[in-house]
Every structure is written in C-alpha cells, then in structure tokens.
Amino acid sequence: MRRIAAIMLAVTLPVAGIAGASETAAPMAPPASAVAGPFTQLPAPTGAFAVGRNVLHLVDPDRSDPWTPAQRRELMVSMYYPAQRSDGVRAPYATDREARLLLDGSGMPGVPAEVLSQAGTNAVVDAAPVAGAYPMVVVSPGFTASRFTLTALSEELASRGYVVAAVDHAGESFGIEFPGGRMSTCVACDRVTDPAALKPVAETRAHDVAFLLDRLTGPAPAWSHAGLIDATRIGMAGHSIGGASAAATMAIDARVRAGADMDGSFPGIMPAAGLGDRSFLLLGADGQTSPGGDQTWDEAWTRLRGWKRWVTLVGADHDSFADTGALAEQVGLPGETALRAGRAVDLTRILVATFFDQQLRGIGQPSLEHLATAFPEVRFNNP
C-alpha cells in the first residue's frame, strides 16, 4: 500500500531431517461505509477447479535466520491446490493482527483491520484435493508485505490446475503470525536502507525457496498432499523484491524452470550469465519499470538468454500487482493511478497465469502477445 510503495521506491528507481513442520501515505480516515460490514471480496478465480488451502509452518534446522541469528530460519507457507468442492469453511485472508500491522506500517492507521482480515476469499480450508500431478508455482511477496497480499493470484493459479506455495519470509514483513500467536515483524527494515541492501534479501529468499522445495518434493515431505506436485514443472513469481527473488532462486536452483517478476528491481541480483535457457517474464508498472525507467531491468533484459517477454501495465504503479489496493478500492479509499486497482489485479492474474500455462503446461493459446490485442492496458516492450 502507500507505505509499502514509499519503502520500495528505491527498488523501482534507477540505481548507478527437519524440525517444526506442521500444517496448520499520510494516515487516511476511511469513509463511513468502510467501517460497517460486509467488507471486501477477492475476485472469483476463472479456472475449472475449486480451490483448497492448507498452511505449513517450516523451520530450517540447518540455517540461522539472517535477521535474528539466534533463531532458526522459519517460513509460513499457504498451500493452494485444485480441490473437489468449493463449499466449506473459507480460508481467512489475514489475521486481525497481521492486517493491523500491515495497515499501520503502510501509513493507514485509520483503516479498519477488517478491510483485510475479513476480506472474502475463494479457497476452502483443508478441502479434499483433485487427484493428479500438477505444476507448482512458488509465490513471494514484496518487502514489508505478507503472502496474503498475493492471494488473488494464488487462487487463480490453483483454479487453473497448479499447486501454489505462497511464502512468508520471517523478519521481512510488517507482521507474520506464527502458530500460537507469536508475531514476526520487519526486523530487516532497519537494515534495508538503500537498493544495494536488497540483494541479501533476495539471496535469503532464494535459500528459503530451495529449502521449501526440498521439504515439498524430497523424502518425507512436510505437506500431506505433496503427491500432487509434479517436481519437473516448477515456477516462481513474486512482487517487488519477491519478483527479483525469483531470478535469485533460479540462479541457485535448477528445479525452477520459469520465473515472473512483478515490478521488482534487480540490484546486483540477475547473474551476468543470465538464467540459461529458462523462461522469464518481466511485468512492470508504467514508466517505472518500462525500458529506460530502471537500469537494472534494462541490464537484466540483455542478460536473459531463454524465452523472455517484457510487459508493461499502462497506468499502473508499484502496488498495482498486489491485492491490497483493490480491496481498499472496494470500501471507497481513493486510488492514485490511472489504472483502477481491481482491474490491475485482474490483468495481473491473466498475464501471470498465461505465462505459466505456456511455460509449465504447454498451453499455447491464448498467447501473451494475444493479450496485448485483447486488453489496451497491456503493452509489450521491445528494447
């Protein structure tokens, strides 16, 4: 949201045996209509499947947390998957405490936490899965944000026949609630003061994802439905530093075949040799990550050797790719972009899902290029 955009401004400007695995802007007052329910609703997924969700808490016994070295590295992971039925208890979007910390940290203390914590989702808690083997996409949020800010995208992918692992990285979000009510806050915020400081964040997340893949696809997997995952078809997508972390992960882990970066800079992150013949999508905001707007994107483009596309959402800004702006829009909080927030989320879902359909499922139509003719807000760049 607005505070997140402020923190990440430097990112989008040009720069010269396992333990603990279990399933489990200026302050703005809202309009009167925002304080009485019903609150908000995520868009319905468009795929053929209902969506289920489980939650995992994972602890890496072999790695210290880089932000709190006395602790082991911990992750909270929401697992979305194709489900048999859509009726049942809907998964919560966020806890009240997570929502409150995100809103306060984003400079919106006057907005009720319920705008986020009581947002309607489409995933059913612990729904029975549809048997099969599905490609998996790992989803990583922006710095200071939480995994729930990419719920609409996660649900969309699951409805189309993907397993999705949406990851929270301890110490890098305004608020992550762990089992038992323990809260992780943004310890890393005090250390990330310039674009160069984001490189260790991306590298930490790359090791987080490698550990996650080990726990989901290795022996004695941490998730009871791990048999749904086709380990030969894995992708990763993320917003802001989460998107840049997709490239950092691909640089150290060949299991990730395709990556998508939603408006995240690459300060020292994209390897000089690129990512081999693997596929990568750059999906950016108008002006900020268009050609010439962020030199790390221009540089990354020249290093990518495999299938690649560079797409701009015309009228979008850095926050347009996450759910939060669209939810705020539903209760009358004004947006600041030419592209309506809800529309931006819909287009993000379509573009990212179409990319992974092509790269992980071999579905050629509609192609990404076709979307540029169908939606005037979608612009393909040819640097």
How many other CB atoms are found less than 10 A from the CB of residue 290? 18
pTM, whole model, 2 decimals? 0.90
Query: Among 145, 131, 143, which Cα is nearest to 175's?
Result: 145
Specify which residues 236 forms β-bridges with. Answer: 138, 259
Residue 64 belongs to what H/E stretch? Answer: strand 50-64
The CA-based dihedral angle spanning residues 47, 310, 188, 177, taken in that order and rounded to the nearest 10 degrees: -10
Q: Is the pLDDT of residue 284 over 50?
A: yes
pLDDT of residue 10: 31
CATH class of 2-16+20-380: alpha beta
pLDDT of residue 216: 98
pLDDT of residue 39: 81
Contact 280, 274 (CB under 8 A): no
- The pLDDT-based confidence of 6 (bands split at 50, 70, 90) is very low
Distance in angstroms (rounded) separating the CA atoms of residues 348 and 237: 11
- Give the pairing of strands 134-140 and 163-169: parallel
pLDDT of residue 336: 85
Give the CA distances from residue 65 to residues 214, 239, 370, in Å, rounded to whole numbers and listed in that order. Answer: 18, 22, 44
| Among 92-106, 107-121, 309-323, the least confident range | 107-121
Q: Is the pLDDT of residue 168 over 90?
A: yes
Distance in angstroms (rounded) separating the CA atoms of residues 219 and 289: 41
Q: Residue type at 325?
A: G
Residue spans of the domains in the chain: they are 2-16+20-380
Contact 361, 321 (CB under 8 A): no
Contacts of 144 (CB under 8 A, 6+ apart): 3, 4, 7, 8, 102, 105, 106, 172, 173, 174, 186, 189
Q: What is the pLDDT of residues 185-208, one digit of tens each?
A: 999 999 888 878 899 999 999 999
Distance in angstroms (rounded) separating the CA atoms of residues 222 and 236: 19
Q: What is the pLDDT of residues 347-370, one digit of tens each?
A: 999 999 999 999 999 998 888 989
User: Is 245 buried (19+), middle (13-18) or exposed (0-12) by CB count in 10 A?
Assistant: buried
How many other CB atoms are found less than 10 A from the CB of residue 334? 8
Distance in angstroms (rounded) separating the CA atoms of residues 213 and 228: 13
pLDDT cut 90: percent of the chain above it: 79
Task: Tokens for 14, please give them.
Answer: 């040009």
Distance in angstroms (rounded) separating the CA atoms of residues 324 and 335: 11
Contact 140, 246 (CB under 8 A): yes
